[in-house]
Structure 1
Amino acid sequence: MPSRALGTSAAALALALSLSSCGLLPDNGDPDPAPEETADQAQETVAQDLPFTRQGRLFVEDGNDVAFEVVINALESDGEYLMIDVTHNILEPLPGAVTSTSAPIRMVDPLSGEVLRVLENEDNNGEPYGTYFVEGDPFMPTHEGLATPMRRYFPAPSEEVETLTFTGAGLGYVPGVPVTYVDEFTEAPEPNVYDYIDPETWERQELPDEIFYPDDVPESGLDVTAERQSMESFVDSPVSSTTRAGDQETIALHSDNMFEVDEAEPTDEAAETIRQAAASLRENLAEGTEITVIGHTDGTGDDAYNQNLSQERAQAALELLESELGDGFSLSTEGRGSDELLAEEGGDDDEEARARNRRVELFYEVPLDARDSEGEGLDSAQRHVAGPAAYFEEMEPHTTVSDDDIDLNVYPLVRDGAYLFQMVGFQNSTLNDLEADLDGDESALPGSPAQYAEGTMGGFRLEEPDSGLIRYVIRIRTAEDEYEDFADQIHTLSPGEEYLALAVFPAPAADVNEMTLYAGAFGEIPGVPIR
């Protein structure tokens, strides 16, 4: 391919906005509604008119950053697909090509937990549907001082969805983006880019005030299963933990609370635990729901012994549960021995890891409709759903903490539907580029599930000050038994610039107005407010 002329930047994949996972500059705006505002009132506050604007910074080939801006102009659904229309502005002179890839683009329904990903055209080298310059080529010319229009397509959300939350592309997140329902997408202007830029040589003439590109619109009937994903949440307490992924939910009851060592006879505490579990099931499920009671052991002992013990404990838990629930549900048991360990055994926290793996699970499917379920059930299994968050422009950091040469700006948490969105800003305090070693969590709880303690922010967690409930970073189920953290990764930190990263957590009850953040090497940060 011919070399690109200086003044063009090469952006790859995702929204092809030349948006990299680099620092974001928050804009100005108003604070949240008052805490006493109801969910219905909060729903009304999100109806703000587009456009919405975010600013950030791009990595370019010589190591410098340049400021850029993205304006969300429209978000349209025709019932089958969703189209986002934005303009992208380079705000400073470009010294070279963009070098870093962007964080994945996602449109999120914060009520149901559905995640929509950009559609790719498999007949066009897997390039995203939407705006392009040369068909099959991921590179797009962008120009300082000239807005570049851009469109991308996703699976359509449910018809009742009024707003979606935008995440990724180096913009962190943008809540409250209103969805407009149309019979046909607004037609894009006819391309004029080839009148000014030669696609063979990339040589250009003097550019007009506006420039437009061709638009690859997806044909009807595409299989969008892979691009329609769900969020998995994990909430932990001393008695139980609850995993929620799409329409599947699992309550794990800690066996050490319910059974003596190597015994299948329930303890006195088991009856109270099962009573609370039954209350949670009645709150969350319709009568007739099928519930599977699954026994698990740790990795010690003979496989045959573990299998038998896990089955016996599952049966004992089922009998207690039947006495509490009555005949309104369909119950069955499984024993899985030590085949499905949650925590990695054999390390320094071996005792805690084995205790985590000894458990009895209640597995069932739940409706996807968002609703609260606060009552007498298990704390870990309660559902907390507010209205979707309103669009906002500015947040000031709550506090700043440091580890070695890196400062961490901690922003207030934002309650958005059933989730908390947490932004933090990593800042290099030296005079040179810094390859930050941010993986892992030095303050991880002993025995924590391994999948929730990986990546730059995967090891982050929130704790409710009063109840002690632990909320881990959301994971996104990308395929069967495949997941990715809903948390950004951080790469090279240039001096002085702030690199914002996003992590998403399941939301606490409405009356919880602050959380304690455990931020890996940065330690414990109490009193982070929720707005």
Structure 2
Amino acid sequence: MSSRALGTSAAALALALSLSSCGLLPDNGDPDPAPEETADQAQETVAQDLPFTRQGRLFVEDGNDVAFEVVINALESDGEYLMIDVTHNILEPLPGAVTSTSAPIRMVDPLSGEVLRVLENEDNNGEPYGTYFVEGDPFMPTHEGLATPMRRYFPAPSEEVETLTFTGAGLGYVPGVPVTYVDEFTEAPEPNVYDYIDPETWERQELPDEIFYPDDVPESGLDVTAERQSMESFVDSPVSSTTRAGDQETIALHSDNMFEVDEAEPTDEAAETIRQAAASLRENLAEGTEITVIGHTDGTGDDAYNQNLSQERAQAALELLESELGDGFSLSTEGRGSDELLAEEGGDDDEEARARNRRVELFYEVPLDARDSEGEGLDSAQRHVAGPAAYFEEMEPHTTVSDDDIDLNVYPLVRDGAYLFQMVGFQNSTLNDLEADLDGDESALPGSPAQYAEGTMGGFRLEEPDSGLIRYVIRIRTAEDEYEDFADQIHTLSPGEEYLALAVFPAPAADVNEMTLYAGAFGEIPGVPIR
């Protein structure tokens, strides 16, 4: 093997953040803030002081693994960038090269849904800003038993939040990381690594008690648009569905409940649906907000006919909406025919897919700091925002289910701001490596939007036992019509090891304390508790 014990890829924080498992249980279980508390009060209630520590297993070649520890020491914002400072320590001798298929590091604002990605230096082969050994090289030396400080940089959060949630890099999920606001970042220690390890040959002398690497700090004025992303949530009911991504929100009213086939005259049922939609808009929006009413058809029929029908249905919905809302909002219409299909037609679920695509949408923008809304509006459009979750240390699985030779450890759901975070652990129950085929397309509900039925957690969804509302696993919108999972990509399952994956869902009301999880090929799991 090369003298380079391989480190992480550029997307990871450091080689040491590629953990296979880590503790997940609230320490003493601080209760959720009462619903009437403001987010600021909740932040004050749950914030805990750093450092935070995670231990787990670091996977290396040939299926071996070693004990590993990560300590989060600081999270600082200077108003333009965010810097995380951690210490990593490999606790056992490394028997081979480090391997990593971990999800990239993300810092998440659980109130607004904003997702911050590590900044990369395009002038340095796209390597991440922060700690490095050789410029332009993603690899770093490993040194078992010697704690190593590491830094990475992100865009600063849009709002002056008090805590953020750390996800990715195999660490799973670390909530409640407090943000310190500074004029200048704390200066990194003077690097001494080159006194002990040759950057050209990687030959090393006896290492000191402390070792420090250079720090590449981003210059002011970088374009960080691509690294500032948003979670896209999808809540579905028989009458409507609601999609949220950043400051954009869309209520989709299912046309089959509002119009007869090939008709643009609203049914009697449409009036009640519009009344509920208007109530949701009044709850969620300030007066003067611009609302676009958009008609859509399925993919059958002539394009010109579909375009005309979608426009007529949008106009009919607008007229009903105006009668409910009055003059307080700015309304306009668009017809888009069959140009924007949500569900893929032509498959075994063609009928359900076409029904999903026939819809009238209400599109508008909302403030990133939007809070709870519960009233007489549409169930799918209600917002439920608690305070951020506190940091916790260990958690035991709620239950374990199996599919063929793979066990799934299901951990409790954790309410964090406007979302539910859940860890699940995939485990190989055989004595041999298994190639993991965890895509959930076949277990998705018929007619599900395509982007919520893909990836490791595709087909995972939550159902509220009383209301029947369906909450799909959240995707991260990286660009227009491009999405990523929170979950790590899992390719091979070694015997006996647990491979953790993170699923995130939009949160239900504060009085909902358990959910039914539909876990892809693993089936229905009722009574998963919310903590």
Tell me the TM-score normalized by structure 1. 0.95
Structure 1 pair 134–28 and aligned structure 2 pair: CA distance change class (3 A): farther
Structure 1 pair 31–291 and aligned structure 2 pair: CA distance change class (3 A): closer
- Aligned equivalent of 2:25: 25
Structure 1 pair 5–328 and aligned structure 2 pair: CA distance change class (3 A): closer
* Cα deviation digits, residues 247-286 of structure 1 (max 9, x gap): 1111000000000111111001000000000001111111
User: Identity of paired residues, percent?
Assistant: 100
Structure 1 pair 15–304 and aligned structure 2 pair: CA distance change class (3 A): farther
Q: How many angstroms does 1:205 deviate by?
A: 1.1
Give the conservation status (yes or no) of the 8 Å contact 1:62–1:95: no
**Long gaps (5+) in structure 1:** none
Q: How many angstroms does 1:339 deviate by?
A: 1.0
Structure 1 pair 24–288 and aligned structure 2 pair: CA distance change class (3 A): closer
Q: How many angstroms does 1:23 deviate by?
A: 10
Give the conservation status (yes or no) of the 8 Å contact 1:11–1:101: no
Structure 1 pair 267–18 and aligned structure 2 pair: CA distance change class (3 A): closer
Structure 1 pair 32–11 and aligned structure 2 pair: CA distance change class (3 A): same
Give the conservation status (yes or no) of the 8 Å contact 2:425–2:498: yes
* Cα deviation digits, residues 421-454 of structure 1 (max 9, x gap): 0110111111111112111244321111111111
TM-align CA RMSD: 2.5
Give the conservation status (yes or no) of the 8 Å contact 1:59–1:98: yes
Give the conservation status (yes or no) of the 8 Å contact 1:384–1:418: yes
Structure 1 pair 240–35 and aligned structure 2 pair: CA distance change class (3 A): closer
For residues 25 and 204 of structure 2, the distance between their equivalents in structure 1, rounded to whole angstroms, comes to 31
Does residue 115 of the first structure (1) align with residue 115 of the second (2)? yes
Q: How many angstroms does 1:318 deviate by?
A: 0.5
Q: How many angstroms does 1:370 deviate by?
A: 3.0
Structure 1 pair 184–267 and aligned structure 2 pair: CA distance change class (3 A): same
Structure 1 pair 11–263 and aligned structure 2 pair: CA distance change class (3 A): closer
- Aligned equivalent of 1:469: 469
Q: How many angstroms does 1:9 deviate by?
A: 12
Q: How many angstroms does 1:21 deviate by?
A: 8.9
| Matched position secondary structure for 1:250 | strand
Give the conservation status (yes or no) of the 8 Å contact 1:21–1:490: no
Structure 1 residues 386-395 or 94-103, which shifts more?
94-103
* Cα deviation digits, residues 297-354 of structure 1 (max 9, x gap): 1111111111111111111101000000001111111111111111111111111111
Give the conservation status (yes or no) of the 8 Å contact 2:518–2:524: yes
For residues 92 and 376 of structure 1, the distance between their equivalents in structure 2, rounded to whole angstroms, comes to 58
* Cα deviation digits, residues 105-127 of structure 1 (max 9, x gap): 00000011111100001111110
| Matched position secondary structure for 1:36 | coil
Q: How many angstroms does 1:146 deviate by?
A: 0.7
**Long gaps (5+) in structure 2:** none
For residues 205 and 26 of structure 2, the distance between their equivalents in structure 1, rounded to whole angstroms, comes to 35
For residues 53 and 16 of structure 1, the distance between their equivalents in structure 2, rounded to whole angstroms, comes to 13
In the TM superposition, structure 1's runs of 4+ consecutive aligned residues that sit over 3 Å from their partners are 5-42
Give the conservation status (yes or no) of the 8 Å contact 1:24–1:56: no
Structure 1 pair 352–114 and aligned structure 2 pair: CA distance change class (3 A): same
| Matched position secondary structure for 1:316 | helix
Structure 1 pair 22–499 and aligned structure 2 pair: CA distance change class (3 A): farther
Q: How many angstroms does 1:17 deviate by?
A: 4.3
* Cα deviation digits, residues 149-187 of structure 1 (max 9, x gap): 100000111352000000001010100000011111111
Structure 1 pair 22–162 and aligned structure 2 pair: CA distance change class (3 A): closer
Give the conservation status (yes or no) of the 8 Å contact 2:116–2:154: yes
* Cα deviation digits, residues 396-442 of structure 1 (max 9, x gap): 11111011111111000000000000110111111111112111244
Structure 1 pair 24–162 and aligned structure 2 pair: CA distance change class (3 A): closer
Give the conservation status (yes or no) of the 8 Å contact 1:53–1:72: yes
Q: How many angstroms does 1:356 deviate by?
A: 0.6
Tell me the TM-score normalized by structure 2. 0.95
Equivalenced residues, count:
531
* Cα deviation digits, residues 358-411 of structure 1 (max 9, x gap): 100111111111300111110000111000000000111111101111111100
Structure 1 pair 87–381 and aligned structure 2 pair: CA distance change class (3 A): same
Give the conservation status (yes or no) of the 8 Å contact 2:16–2:88: no
Structure 1 pair 17–199 and aligned structure 2 pair: CA distance change class (3 A): farther
For residues 381 and 502 of structure 1, the distance between their equivalents in structure 2, rounded to whole angstroms, comes to 25
Give the conservation status (yes or no) of the 8 Å contact 2:384–2:508: yes
Structure 1 pair 26–137 and aligned structure 2 pair: CA distance change class (3 A): farther
